Amino acid sequence: MDEKKRQVWHFVIQTAISILTAIATALGVASCMSAM
């Protein structure tokens, strides 16, 4: 049970980081484009 729960949390955290990274990249590119 605990091992399974730990795997789920690991997956959730990795997914959240991937989404946040994608958003940060998109915002960074957008701000760079508007700055130029």
Residues 6+ apart with CB under 8 A from 29: none
Q: pLDDT digit string (tens) for 20-36?
A: 999 999 998 888 888 77
pTM of the shown model:
0.68
Query: CA 11 → CA 1, 2, 15, distances in Å?
Result: 16, 14, 6
DSSP H or E stretch at residue 6: helix 2-35
pLDDT at 34: 81
- CA dist 3 and 13 (Å) reads 15
